[in-house]
């Protein structure tokens, strides 16, 4: 049975999914500190086993970022990612009551743009804006 929970932010589950989708995993203490700064998150369980996760980070008033949408490989393609996105977007609608102009960003992994386009996200360049950039590590 699939079950959604809000704001659980269990570090072991987060790192497990990070690893399962091939992103490696962060130091437990780093993940733990990072997740404490979430604005909102959803965790999805199949018979109490974590199978999906997504979170919103940001300042809560001017910028929000959708981050770390992860569905374990054996559960992908079953619209779980869609369910996670819909929950996050519902929360964003709530947050928007305070500032309807709040900007919602995300950084799509290569090849994942089409998934996000289904929810109304567009590439910055299609909006006449420059590319998103990150600091080279
Ligand atoms: C990307 C991801 C979150 C999608 O979750 P999912 O549960 O497999 O996706 P869904 O079943 O909800 O798919 C919803 C729709 O998006 C489409 N879609 C999903 N992944 C896609 C992709 N990589 N490219 C194009 N379309 C994709 C599906 O075909 C589906 O289309 P439909 O509604 O017409 O049937 C999941 O595959 C995942 O966790 N991948 C590894 C981690 C990752 O890359 N996360 C994204 C970080 S930016």
At 76, which CATH number? 3.40.630.30
Distance 115 CA to ligand 1 centre (A): 5
Q: Name the DSSP class of 64.
A: E
Does residue 19 belong to any structural domain of this protein? yes
Q: Which helix (H) or strand (E) holds 109?
A: none
Q: How many domains does the chain have?
A: 1
State how far the Cα of 103 lies from the Cα of 70, in Å rounded to an integer.
Answer: 22
Does residue 110 belong to any structural domain of this protein? yes
Does residue 72 belong to any structural domain of this protein? yes
Which of 13, 109, 115 is the best mutation target for the ligand 1 pocket, counting ligand atoms within 8 Å of the beta carbon and taking the most? 115
- Phi and psi dihedrals of 28, rounded to 5? -55, -40
Mean pLDDT, residues 23-34? 95
Residue 57 pLDDT > 90:
yes
Q: Which domain holds residue 103?
A: 2-126
Residue 50, judged by CB atoms within 10 A of its CB (0-12, 13-18, 19+), counts as: buried
Does residue 132 belong to any structural domain of this protein? no
State how far the Cα of 15 lies from the Cα of 63, in Å rounded to an integer.
Answer: 25
pLDDT band at 11 (very low <50, low <70, confident <90, very high): very high
What Cα–Cα distance (Å) separates residue 16 from each residue in 71, 81, 107? 11, 17, 21
Residue 40 pLDDT > 90:
yes
Does residue 131 belong to any structural domain of this protein? no
pTM of the model: 0.96
Does residue 134 belong to any structural domain of this protein? no
Ligand 1 binding residues, C-beta < 6 A? 21, 69-71, 76-82, 108-109, 111-112, 114-115, 118
Does residue 136 belong to any structural domain of this protein? no
Sign of the C-alpha dihedral, residues 119, 5, 38, 53? negative
Does residue 52 belong to any structural domain of this protein? yes
pLDDT given for residue 85 in this prediction: 98
Mean pLDDT, residues 97-125? 96
pLDDT given for residue 137 in this prediction: 86
Distance 114 CA to ligand 1 centre (A): 8
């Amino acid at each position: 049975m699939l079950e959604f929970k809000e704001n659980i932010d269990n570090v072991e589950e987060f790192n497990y999914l990070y690893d399962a989708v091939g992103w490696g995993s962060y130091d437990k203490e780093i993940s733990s500190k990072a997740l404490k700064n979430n604005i909102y998150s959803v965790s999805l369980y199949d018979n109490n086993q974590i199978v999906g996760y997504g979170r919103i980070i940001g300042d809560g008033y001017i910028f929000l970022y959708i981050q770390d949408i992860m569905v374990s490989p054996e559960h992908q393609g079953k619209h779980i990612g869609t369910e996670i996105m819909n929950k996050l977007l519902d929360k964003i609608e709530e947050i928007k009551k305070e500032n309807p102009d709040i900007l919602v960003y995300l950084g799509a992994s290569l090849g994942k743009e089409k998934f996000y386009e289904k929810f109304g996200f567009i590439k910055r360049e299609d909006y006449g804006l420059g590319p998103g950039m990150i600091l080279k590590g």
